[in-house]
Amino acid sequence: MQLMEQPDTTGIEYQQGTLAGWEVREYLLLKWGYRCAYCHQEATRWEVDHLQPRSRGGSHRIKNLALACHACNQEKGGRTAAEYGHPDVQTEASIPLKDAAAVNSTRLALYERLKQTGMPVETGTGGRTKWNRTQRGLPKTHWRDAACVGASTPESLQAQGVLPLLITARGRHNRQMCRTNAFGFPDKAPKKTSVVGGVRTGDIVRALVPESSKKAGVYVGRIAIRATGSCNIQTAAGTIQGIHVQYCQPLHRGDGYAYQNGRSA
Ligand SMILES: [Zn+2]
């Protein structure tokens, strides 16, 4: 936000315009929800509209910019947003993105904490990440984006043959203190965390089911267990139902995260 608000005080890349333009465009797309600020239609051709026109002293500051479709931008011409019959757009433009405001209030504290680890810490904007990734011709995935954060991203990134480990936060247990019926009235006790046969829902297990059983085979994955000892195992190939806990060996205790091998580049 600060980079966009004060484009003059920032680095060379900003003054040259490429990265700055990218940041502003990304911001405006999010801010206006990929819709024209005037006719609210999704357009295929975006234009950055100056609410107070450039020709009448309007600045490049983010508060003076809106996303407009080509038709509206043409029609508006040299008028201000208010003169064009849209004083609301003027008001809307001066309200910063809600998410950006929330992130701004915590990011500095987070940054200071991370610096205390003694490791080199760098921050970067979402706009820069996308710019870095696009410059390097990489397709969009979360892990490639992670490699493209910040100014220190190398000129070329060797993504070929990289097998990413994808970690997803899933949360632990269920903290709902009472469960409700279809009308919202509490009618059930909270879910109990059950340990059955030494394992609990969320653990990663290996099940060795003997030949004598219908479900014979070796399964590795996240377990969901019932009090009866019957469980489901979520493997890479799908969910296997009705395995008995006696065949299960815990490999990794549930820690609130799901681990998965991503596809290689
Ligand atoms: Zn429009």
Q: What is the pLDDT of residues 96-154, one digit of tens each?
A: 776 666 777 788 888 889 999 999 898 888 888 989 999 998 888 888 898 899 889 99
Centre of ligand 1 from the C-alpha of residue 84, in Å: 12
**Portion of the chain with pLDDT greater than 70, in percent:** 89
Centre of ligand 1 from the C-alpha of residue 101, in Å: 27
* Of residues 148, 132, 123, the one with CA closest to residue 2: 123
Centre of ligand 1 from the C-alpha of residue 48, in Å: 11
- Residue-wise pLDDT for 8-33, tens only, equals 544 444 444 556 677 788 888 888 98
Centre of ligand 1 from the C-alpha of residue 52, in Å: 17
Instruction: Return residues with CB closer than 5 A to ligand 1 (ion).
Output: 36, 38-39, 69, 72
DSSP designation for 91: H
- Residue-wise pLDDT for 21-74, tens only, equals 777 888 888 889 889 999 999 877 888 899 999 889 888 788 888 999 999 999
Centre of ligand 1 from the C-alpha of residue 44, in Å: 11
Quote the CA–CA distance of 67 and 75 in Å, as a whole number: 14
* Burial call 166-185: b when 16+ CB within 10 Å, e when fewer: eeeeeeeeeeeeeeeeeeee
Centre of ligand 1 from the C-alpha of residue 132, in Å: 30
Place of tokens 């990489």: 138
pTM above 0.95, yes or no: no
